[in-house]
Structure 1
Amino acid sequence: MRRALITALVVTAALLLGAPPAAAHPMPHSVVLLDVHETSVTARLELPSADLDLARGGEPVRTYLAAHIRPLSTDGRAWTVTVGEVAVGSAEQTSTGPYQEITATATLTPPAGGDLRHFTLGYDVIVHRVVTHTVLVSVRRDWAGGRLSSSSTQVGTIQIDNRTMTVPALRVDLGDGSRWSGLLAMVELGAEHILQGADHLLFLLILLLPAPLLAAGGRWSGSGGPRSTVARIARTTLAFTIGHSAALAVSASTHLDLPAWPVESFIAASILVGAAHAVRPIFPGREAAVAAFFGLGHGLAFSFTLAELRLSTGRLALSLFGFNLGIELVQLALVALALPVLVAVARTRFGHRFRLTAAALTGVAAAGWLIARLGRPNPVASVADSVGTHPTVLLTALVGAAAAAVLILTRRSAATRTRHG
């Protein structure tokens, strides 16, 4: 009996010593995302609902948040804090799993002469009551600092100091900002946007596909000379540029607020029309006019990206120029790669099959996009979207095809000179 009792005590002690403490279960942390504008800073707050309810003790959410966010200028002057609408939703963090989240937006405005790029963020939301809580503070958008990508940059963490049991303020140093940094960031954003927007690239490429061919009897038959092909491609590309640039400038400068789905549906329809034209000429010789018209819809889609940045009038003109420049640089590079491929393929016996296959695949993708953007998700649209998220693969294939096409054209030209020599 004594031996059994001793054994039970030893097993129980081992289980107790080996079991993890109950307090070790990870809790969701808060996130503060800063968007730095020309005269203010917007803070998006993502807060775990359970911890927030515990900390505020029944006080209204907006009142509580305004009292616990206290930014100061470097000279000690207080900023104005205005808390906007509050929303409830679901969220998930890798370490904690799903939970209910409160989101809110606070506008932080410095006093006259205050420095937006260097300030102290006094912030103890939740942390003053839940001592194990952590707040991650990151910069999401900062035009003057050249930060406009989708990924945020962490600037610090806020948590309680266990020695003093106080919550130290976070010193935010965003470095120097300039118009040059903003311009370069917009060029990069425009380039990224066109590369990741498979529908924009696909429309331009499918419209250029029959450029080396001549229309006769309602069909594409025979190929034109290299000079006429280059001219048609140049006109089409320029017209598309003019169309989307005009729509982008008007919609961004007038803050035109349009729902996304009709614009995105219009773009899908434009690709479908381009694919049909590549099979049989619908508007031979008028590709430039069609490109300009459909370019208006693509420009409206581009404007959605600029609208998210909430740019002031002073920065908007420079941003429009930089964003357009990034788009055009990528377009010109792609056209330069596609041109030798189109010319070389049009002169082979496989040219007809290549054109029909490319048009069919593009048409299927466009139809899938159109159906999805009208409210009917489908696997075709999902596959087309997944392909568009890997521009490196597409670019690599295009570069390889362009190199092979240049080699073929060079050899044919040399062979022609030899025969005539």
Structure 2
Amino acid sequence: MKRYLFILLLCAWLSPAQAHKPSDSYLSLEVHGQQIEGQWDIALRDLDFAIGLDGNGDGALTWDEIRARHQAIAAYALQRLQVASDQGACPLKAVEQLIDNHTDGAYSVLRFQASCPGAAPASLAIGYTLFADLDPQHKGLVKIDSGGNTQTAIFDPDSPRQTLSLVAPDRLAQFGAYVKHGVWHIWIGYDHILFLLSLLLPAVLLPQAHQSTRSNVPQNPLPPAAESRGRTRRVRPQVLSWGLRGAFIDVLKVVTAFTLAHSITLTLASLSLISLPSRWVESAIAASVILAALNNLLPLFRGKRPVAAFAFGLIHGFGFASVLRDLGLPQGSLLASLLGFNVGVELGQLAIVAAFLPAAWLLRKTWLYRQVLTVGSLAIALVAAVWLVERVVDIKLISS
């Protein structure tokens, strides 16, 4: 009974969680002297939550419902964006609204214009507070093109105001912003975390490989006196524990394989060298979580967890790439952003491992850890199965 209750509680906690891409918006600014042309892609699901777009309450948004709220969308968004040059504020004016599809759904495309006072600005001060009062995890990914230079930045409720140079973009600051974004992305990517943890859970319980060699084990463990009397002794089987060094090496193999694989596909996908349909990628990620969790109950991988981590890591890399691909950075900026984002993902991963391994090692011989390994793995598989069905057929089984 306790096991079933544990499963239900874990499913209730995880199922509503956003296993898909988190809340982001994409703001692009093109500066031509004093004039600015902007495009702001904002998820319709976020706007619906903030100001209500579903007029008849049937859970499905139509073009007529969205068009009826164009004025409200523009007012809500532009009140939460301020652009200024060193000569003063650059008032924003909505021009057009469209709809576009990103990897995680439909977005409202708000096009606007601004005119800055005085001469052509050398820098822009941007204030970004979209959804700051509703979603503390929301991010605004901003790209500014000016005279062949591209500057990028990431805004969130903790850093709502930044000044960006239009003459000499701060590549170090851009790199740091994407490192931070990579860490944040892995920490709220529940499907990625559950996949990694499912592979790491058995690390501290694996037996040593035959005590290194069979030659070190005595061929006859019975004492001579017992052998001469023809008596046999029953030896109770037991699982040999790893040493901490052995557990660390096993974890290192799994994490390294996962890192290498998703770094390859993250790079290829972000550079637009390979592209896969988002639904296929998200469905495959959910399937990888199921298999990794079931491997703790059934020997699916048969001691080849690093190989499995590498194979599924290739798929997870496409999921990581969706954020950078949606931003549409040019090649020069993309390389720096890609490197920073990848470094951030690895730092986020290492933080998870650093928190997991000592705790798992201390609890490895307890009843609680065995329950987490078996019952927890089953619960993870069930939650991932819900995600898989949602992604394959594009429906929402459990509302968040």
TM above 0.5, yes or no, is yes
Deviation at 1:195, TM superposition (A): 1.0
- Give the structure 1 partner of residue 254 of structure 2: 236
Label 1:203 to 1:52 Cα distance change in 2 as closer, same or farther (>3 A). Answer: closer
Q: What SS does the aligned partner of 1:285 have?
A: coil
TM-score normalised by L of structure 2: 0.58
Report the count of equivalent residues.
Answer: 277
Label 1:109 to 1:331 Cα distance change in 2 as closer, same or farther (>3 A). Answer: farther
- Give the structure 2 partner of residue 346 of structure 1: 364
Label 1:327 to 1:52 Cα distance change in 2 as closer, same or farther (>3 A). Answer: closer
Say which of 153, 177, 181 aligns to 1:147. Answer: 153
- Give the structure 2 partner of residue 395 of structure 1: none
Whether the aligned pair in 2 keeps the contact of 1:214 and 1:223 (CA below 8 Å) is yes
Tell whether 2:325 aligns with 1:307.
yes
Q: 1:159-201: per-residue Cα shift (whole Å, max 9, x none)? A: xxxxxxxxxxxxx975574111111110111011111111111
Alignment of 1:163-312 (within 5 A): 174=164, 177-214=169-206, 221-254=239-272, 256-312=274-330
Match for 1:147: what amino acid?
Answer: A
Whether the aligned pair in 2 keeps the contact of 1:41 and 1:116 (CA below 8 Å) is no
Label 1:50 to 1:304 Cα distance change in 2 as closer, same or farther (>3 A). Answer: closer
- Give the structure 2 partner of residue 87 of structure 1: 98
Match for 1:368: what amino acid?
Answer: V
Match for 1:141: what amino acid?
Answer: V
Say which of 371, 383, 397 aligns to 1:365. Answer: 383
- Give the structure 2 partner of residue 35 of structure 1: 28
Whether the aligned pair in 1 keeps the contact of 2:143 and 2:329 (CA below 8 Å) is no
Q: What SS does the aligned partner of 2:382 have?
A: helix
Q: 1:326-354: per-residue Cα shift (whole Å, max 9, x none)? A: 11111111101100122222222443223
- Give the structure 2 partner of residue 117 of structure 1: 123
- Which gives a bigger RCO, structure 1 or 2 (Cα 8 Å, sep 6+)? 2
Q: 1:339-381: per-residue Cα shift (whole Å, max 9, x none)? A: 01222222224432231121011111111111111124212xx
Deviation at 1:320, TM superposition (A): 1.2
Label 1:346 to 1:185 Cα distance change in 2 as closer, same or farther (>3 A). Answer: same
Match for 2:352: what amino acid?
Answer: L
Q: What SS does the aligned partner of 1:214 have?
A: coil
Match for 1:304: what amino acid?
Answer: S
Tell whether 2:94 aligns with 1:105.
no
Deviation at 1:261, TM superposition (A): 1.1
Label 1:370 to 1:215 Cα distance change in 2 as closer, same or farther (>3 A). Answer: farther
- Give the structure 2 partner of residue 4 of structure 1: none
Match for 2:328: what amino acid?
Answer: R
Q: What SS does the aligned partner of 1:148 have?
A: strand
Label 1:265 to 1:149 Cα distance change in 2 as closer, same or farther (>3 A). Answer: farther
Larger Rg: 1
- Give the structure 1 partner of residue 396 of structure 2: 377
Label 1:194 to 1:106 Cα distance change in 2 as closer, same or farther (>3 A). Answer: same
Which whole-Å CA distance do the structure 1 matches of 2:291 and 2:70 have between them?
A: 53
Q: What SS does the aligned partner of 1:209 have?
A: helix
Which whole-Å CA distance do the structure 1 matches of 2:370 and 2:70 have between them?
A: 65
Q: What percentage of residue pairs aligned between the two structures are identical?
A: 31
Match for 1:310: what amino acid?
Answer: G
Label 1:52 to 1:240 Cα distance change in 2 as closer, same or farther (>3 A). Answer: closer
Which whole-Å CA distance do the structure 2 matches of 1:33 and 1:116 have between them?
A: 22
TM-score normalised by L of structure 1: 0.55
Deviation at 1:52, TM superposition (A): 8.6
- Give the structure 1 partner of residue 340 of structure 2: 322
Deviation at 1:263, TM superposition (A): 0.6
Match for 1:190: what amino acid?
Answer: G
- Give the structure 1 partner of residue 349 of structure 2: 331
Deviation at 1:36, TM superposition (A): 3.6
